[in-house]
Chains A and B, each alone.
Chain A
């Protein structure tokens, strides 16, 4: 038995060698740094390092649970993530289906490029663009003023922050997210469409009966991944868009951790505890989403 494994290894030695850098990458950058979660149970002394610092049990978690700001951030994360799944997730599918229906190939490519482009602009830049659009002297407010309406404080109004987050995120990412669906659509056997056509199905019926069932699996997997990512909430975007005026609706766990760790000296121990807490929740969410999708007849991830 052992001999045959060795033999197999030797036989495909070059293939395994090709695999080695990837394995090393994961070991070095993904698994090795994981011992840092120990900090959640330790009183971090910078000089002694992570391993040398003394253990303090669960007191970091206790301090965390006592912070009212943390719970506010926690619920904000839940709301924003749910909103992303409800509002942002389906838009990419709809866009992919619509682009697919464009008959002229060149126009199709054109739309795809136009929608994908914003993905490559960083949030820092976008926040600047948005300030020029939505600020008190921004384009939108000037327009409102011209039409005789009151100016709106788009960027500092807590009740408008989440819609702005969703809309700007859709604008930036929808084209990029649609690519996967477009790829799935491109893989559909054209014979299916021909058969549907012969059976008298119109374009809309083809879409419902051929295209959608064919990409449903892809959508299911992406949904599982999105749910498994729910506790993250999108640090990059929020951090660049928020301000103290909208903390009440916009401060998510990640931004809260960032400010706590660096500005107010909450300590690396507590903030690692938050990170661990978040990772465990994400893991649980991923598994439950996977379970539900499988139950509903989808393929699932694991």
Chain B
């Protein structure tokens, strides 16, 4: 009896010990544990993107491919038909690896250090932290793409785009940049200031033609009880994130809006070193101090403040045009909070006033943001499979899937005629994004689909409604007709010099917020901040970049 007890406790200890040890050692291999899913048969793979002969089938071997994406855990949870189609067509099992918008760069750094990067890495260091990108390249964490991309014509097109050339290192491309728009013009509608036109009418305010008028309008929103509830519970402008709010200062200093470099006194300098920032901080402080700017903007998380606009607690919202649409878009959310009211009867986009030189500026930036990287551990066969998937994701057939769903199930096609067959929910067809939670992820994996979301197509008219499509088209047209893109030194975004790479230690947004919230003279605070940047190598970076630009004759 006693012996049995002892044996029992002994085995318990052994199990405990073993579990501790094994728990430690099993963390290493999350990427290559293939073989636990039955391989799809080779002939089903033939229905996929390319129809290779059976004996030379590039999809013969089944593979597990892990990929990271913002919120992929939820998006792939249902393992919906889209994911299944992709997995079947390419004979792979997709292993989702979740990342969050607030922490993805940190996660990638930690995974890199721990050797746990997924096969396909979603990252945004090429432009945001070129120094880190160089480090990843030099430490061989990521796979260069093959020199010859002719087997993947759609990927090749991206690799040959003019502003992707700055991403090459020693003639090799280590990332597939995620293109946003076919050209830099369409960025114009990535900034928009929504405003309550009913409030403007009520208070007798016309479209502001200068910052002072804009300021006066927002101040009136905060102080003159525009919603007529007898309480002083409204504010002027709220922002989705600080980036969108920067457009307010485009007339004062265009390059602040897109955080680019500019030439001043014969030198190339980053926007935060410019003399023109004086005016920006002065204006921003004025907005905050007078209550024209949301008093909580520094504390709120991304998107949190939008609610204030939806709930009629704010007169203006800094965001972008495209976000008006969709089931959680601005229009839908606003109408949810104001039952029975039509969004377009109450809200319009406010156009910015001309800058000192008489020009109305519009937002622009590089034609891509963020990138897919391939883990250096991936072998050539898997690399080929990944590139084939990407090539297909960028193809016209894939676009058709993003627009209409799965052929035979959601639509039928004869010639060029597409007939939508998916069920209706009330007047509209059920939303594809609701039917396939993975759609948002799959359609954006290789390239952002911002352009197709903005275009005037039958698919968009069906999905978004005529009023929304007209609204977006109208805004796009207005920007093209009336505004000029911010003069932008695109080359410098992904330029890498030793001192410039170190500038990533500067977080100007933090200092900007501190200046806006502060009590001292904003211009003096700004100048102190600018001086402190010299200690972080600002002047060296300016010197190096100016030299580089001089070499290019700029």
The chain A residues found within 8 Å of chain B, CB to CB, are: 14, 17-18, 20-21, 24-25, 28, 44-48, 66, 68, 131, 135-137, 145, 151, 153, 155-156, 243-245, 247-248, 259-266, 268
Q: Chain B 124-151, CB within 8 Å of chain A: the 1/0 string?
A: 0000010110011001110000000000
- Closest CB in chain B relative to A106 CB, distance in Å: 40
Instruction: Please tell me if B513 contacts chain A, counting CB pairs below 8 Å.
Output: yes
B203 within 8 A of A: no
Residues in B505-519 with C-beta less than 8 Å from chain A: 505-507, 509-511, 513-514, 517-518
- Let me know if A18 and B514 touch, CB within 8 A: no
B20 and A260 contact, CB distance less than 8 A? no
| Complex A-B: 28 CB contacts under 8 Å | A14-B10, A21-B13, A21-B20, A24-B17, A45-B139, A46-B112, A46-B113, A46-B139, A46-B141, A47-B139, A47-B140, A131-B300, A135-B299, A136-B235, A137-B233, A243-B298, A244-B513, A244-B514, A244-B517, A245-B513, A245-B514, A247-B514, A259-B507, A261-B106, A261-B109, A263-B105, A263-B106, A263-B507
Cα–Cα distance between A264 and B507 once the two chains are bound (Å): 7
Contacts of B313 in A (CB 8 A): 137
B20 touches A24 (CB 8 A): yes
**Is the CB of B241 closer than 8 A to any CB of chain A?**
no
| A20 CB contact (under 8 Å) in B17, B141, B233 | B17
Instruction: Note all chain B residues with C-beta closer than 8 A to A135.
Output: 295-296, 299
Whether A264 contacts B6 by the Cβ 8 Å rule is no
Q: Within 8 Å CB of A46, what residues of B?
A: 112-113, 135-136, 139, 141
B9 at the interface (CB under 8 A from A): yes
Residues on B with C-beta less than 8 A from A137 are 233, 296, 313
Residues of B within 8 Å of A21, CB to CB, are 13, 16-17, 20
B24 within 8 A of A: yes
Interface set of B (CB-CB < 8 Å, partner A): 6, 9-10, 13, 16-17, 20-21, 24, 103, 105-106, 109, 112-113, 129, 131-132, 135-136, 139-141, 232-233, 235, 294-296, 298-300, 313, 504-507, 509-511, 513-514, 517-518, 532, 535
Least CB distance, A54 to chain B, in whole angstroms: 12
Contact B505 A266 (CB under 8 A): yes
B514's partner among A20, A248, A259 (CB-CB below 8 A) is A248
Q: A47-B140, A136-B295, A247-B514 are in contact. Are A265 and B131 (CB under 8 A)?
A: yes
For B295, list chain A residues within 8 Å (CB). 135-136, 151, 153
Please indicate the chain B residues that have their CB under 8 angstroms from the CB of A243 in the complex: 298-299, 513
Closest A residue to B516 by CB, please name it.
Answer: A245
Let me know if B507 and A68 touch, CB within 8 A.
Answer: no
- A250 CB to closest chain B CB (Å) equals 11
Beyond A261-B109, A263-B105, 20 extra complex contacts between A and B, CB < 8 Å? A14-B9, A24-B17, A24-B21, A28-B21, A47-B140, A136-B294, A136-B295, A137-B233, A151-B295, A153-B295, A155-B296, A156-B299, A243-B298, A244-B298, A245-B513, A260-B505, A261-B106, A262-B105, A263-B507, A265-B129
Which residues from B are CB-within-8-Å of A136?
A: 235, 294-296
Given A46-B112, A156-B517, the answer on whether A244 and B139 have CB atoms closer than 8 Å is no
Among B141, B514, B518, max chain A CB count under 10 A is at B514
- Measured CB to CB, the closest approach of chain B to A56, in angstroms, equals 15
State in angstroms the CA–CA spacing of A262 and B109 once bound together. Answer: 7
Which residues from chain A contact B296 at a C-beta distance below 8 Å? 131, 135-137, 155
What is the bound-complex CA distance between A44 and B136, given in angstroms? 12
Are B535 and A68 closer than 8 Å at their CB atoms? yes
* Contact residues in A for B298 (Cβ distance below 8 Å): 155-156, 243-245
Residue of B nearest to A66 (CB): B535
Complex CA gap A151/B232 in Å reads 12
Q: Find chain B residues with CB under 8 A from A20 CB.
A: 13, 17
B9's partner among A18, A47, A68, A244 (CB-CB below 8 A) is A18
Cα–Cα distance between A260 and B109 once the two chains are bound (Å) = 12
Report, nearest first, the 10 A-B pairs whose CB atoms are least far apart. A136-B295, A262-B106, A244-B510, A244-B513, A245-B517, A264-B505, A243-B298, A245-B298, A47-B139, A156-B517
Q: How far is the CA of A47 from the CA of B233 in the complex (A)?
A: 55
B107 (CB) vs chain A CBs: closest residue: A262
Query: From A49, which residue of chain B is reached at the shortest CB distance?
Result: B115
- The distance in angstroms between the C-alpha atoms of A263 and B131, with both chains bound, is 12
A151-B295, A266-B505 known; A247-B510 Cβ under 8 A = yes
With beta carbons under 8 angstroms apart, the residue of B10, B21, B139, B505 that contacts A265 is B505
Contact of B232 among A14, A47, A145 (CB under 8 A): A145
A261 vs B110: C-alpha distance when bound (angstroms) = 10
The CA of A268 and the CA of B55, in the complex, are separated in Å by 49
Q: Give every chain B residue within 8 A of A18 (Cβ-Cβ).
A: 9, 13
Write out the residue numbers on chain A whose beta carbons fall within 8 Å of the beta carbon of B518: 245
A288 to B141 CA separation, bound complex (whole angstroms) = 45
- The closest CB in chain B to the CB of A268 belongs to B113
A68 touches B532 (CB 8 A): yes
**With the chains together, A247 CA to B298 CA distance in Å?**
12
A residues less than 8 Å from B13 (CB atoms): 17-18, 20-21
Chain B residue numbers with a CB within 8 Å of A248 are: 514
Bound-complex Cα distance A88 to B415 (A)? 76
Instruction: Report whether B514 and A265 are in contact in the complex, using a CB–CB cutoff of 8 Å.
Output: no
A24 to B17, CA, bound (A): 8
Bound complex: CA A236 to CA B175 (Å): 35
Q: What's the nearest-Cβ distance from chain A to residue B518, in Å?
A: 8
Question: Given known contacts A137-B233, A156-B517, A243-B298, is B510 in contact with A47 (CB within 8 Å)?
Answer: no
Cα distance A261–B112 in the bound complex, in angstroms? 13
How far, in angstroms, from A137 to B312 measured CA to CA in the complex? 13
Please, how many angstroms separate the alpha-carbon atoms of A20 and B517 in the complex?
Answer: 56
Contacts of A260 in B (CB 8 A): 505
Q: Which residue of A lies closest to B138 (CB)?
A: A45
Give the distance to chain B from A266, nearest Cβ to Cβ, in Å. 6
Q: What chain B residues lie within 8 Å of A262 (beta carbons)?
A: 103, 105-106, 109
A-chain residues with CB within 8 Å of residue B294 when the two chains form the complex: 136
Cα A21 to Cα B17 in complex, Å, equals: 6
